[in-house]
Amino acid sequence: MASITKIKAITISLILNLSFALPTTTMAQQHCDSASTGGCHDKAKSLQLKLIAIFSILTASMIGVCLPLFSRRIPALMPDRDLFVVVKAFASGVILATGYMHVLPDSFNALMSDCLPIKPWKKFPFTTFVAMLSAILTLMTDSFAMSYYKKHGLNRKGGEVDGEKEKNGDRGLACVENGGLHVGHCDELNDGSNDKDSLLLRNRVVAQVLEIGIVVHSVVIGLSMGASNNQCTIRPLIAALCFHQLFEGMGLGGCILQAEYGMKMKAILVLFFSTTTPFGIVLGIGLSNVYSDSSPTALIVVGLLNASSAGLLNYMALVDLLAADFMGPKLQGSMRLQAWSYIAVLLGAGGMSLMAKWA
């Protein structure tokens, strides 16, 4: 009797557990499935908004990244002027807020979604772990790239580069021409030109690594918008992303300007930045029938990509942009300029943080 009673108790317990577990699982599944359905979902109207988004975001991106590049025609915005430093500080604040207020929360939302299993996604902070690894890898890339270019591009002595001779009395500058680095032997560098070349190399590495982080983030944003059929979400997102790309482009454009690239390299960097979000939207439209932003695979991929992008952007904004400028001789030599630059950083970061309400 005791064994039968025990079996009955176990059976009742299993039935009760299943009766509570199944509705929970069903509700979670329904919640995930309902993410792509609802009153605001209209495929035809959403497609019209996406087409508007492609051209408006492309235009805003082009304007943002090109504005600093044409600033050489405005004396007050030359890289050695105080106004340029303040504008760059503002743009650096925008990039910092992009990492912390836009990309990182998106990664948390994706990897902590109810559509993912509890183990391992809710048992370990994958977002911060991947962001940390990304920051370390960015530091490694930064360091190795600088070492490589210094060794192969600048520090070889006793010869000419591609037949170019010394010009204008600047020894060692023959290693840098037409906006590109040429691997080869160079004449001995004096201290002044060595410092100048090292700074130029630094600016070039910063511009390229920053571009990588922004491009990854932009493709993810575009893919999510292109795959969505929720017109209530897309409509405010268009305006927010236009401002987002405009200010982020200004930050990247300032870095490209200081890198002193030739026209070809500038055009490539501008093209990549301007077209990645529209390309992501087009890709999302093409995959909208098979891609679901609430599917486990999509959530994991997007979450990990956003986490890596956030780590890169946060490192670049704090170390390569803000710290490099604020600890540099120009800002350290002027408390007034330093104060204005801090105000610009706060304004840029604050404005971008406010946009996190919509995008």
Per-residue pLDDT of 67-99, as tens digits, reads: 888 877 777 777 778 888 898 899 889 889 988
Backbone Cα Rg of the chain: 26
Confidence of residue 172 (pLDDT cuts 50, 70, 90): very low
Provide the strand spans (E) within the chain.
176-177, 180-181
Report the pLDDT averaged over residues 239-267. 86
DSSP characters over 294-326: TSHHHHHHHHHHHHHHHHHHHHIIIIIIIIHHH
DSSP 8-state code for residue 176: E
Q: 3-state class of 165 per DSSP?
A: coil
Higher pLDDT, 306 or 180: 306
pTM of the full predicted structure?
A: 0.71
**What span, in angstroms and rounded, lies between the C-alpha atoms of 138 and 303?**
18
**Reported confidence tier of residue 183, pLDDT bands at 50, 70, 90:** very low
Percent of the chain predicted with pLDDT > 70: 77
Residue 81 phi/psi, 5-degree rounding, is -95, 155
Across residues 217-237, what is the average pLDDT? 82
Tokens of 243: 């401002």
Contacts of 57 (CB under 8 A, 6+ apart): 222, 238, 241, 242, 245, 277, 278, 281
Span 225-246, average pLDDT: 82
Quick one: average pLDDT of 132-161? 72
pLDDT at 164 (0 to 100): 37
Tell me what the mean pLDDT of segment 195-200 comes to: 76
Region of residue 179 (phi > 0: left; psi between -120 and 50: alpha; otherwise: beta): left
What is the arithmetic mean of pLDDT over 167-180?
42
Asked if residues 346 and 338 have their Cβ atoms less than 8 Å apart, the reply is no
- Helix, strand, coil % over all residues of the chain, rounded to 5: 80, 5, 20
Token pair for 35 = 């993410």
- For residue 110, which of 296, 240, 261 has the smallest C-alpha distance? 296
Average pLDDT over residues 53-57: 94
Specify the residue for token string 């317990």: 13
Q: HSE, CB side, 13 Å, CA atoms: give it for residue 347.
A: 13
Report the run of H or E that residue 138 belongs to, with start and end: helix 126-149
Instruction: Report d(CA 337, CA 319) in Å as an integer.
Output: 19
pLDDT of 46 = 86
Per DSSP, 166 falls in state P
Alpha-carbon span 302 to 291, nearest angstrom: 12
Residue 342 CA to residue 345 CA, distance in Å, equals 5
Cβ–Cβ < 8 Å for 77, 66 = no
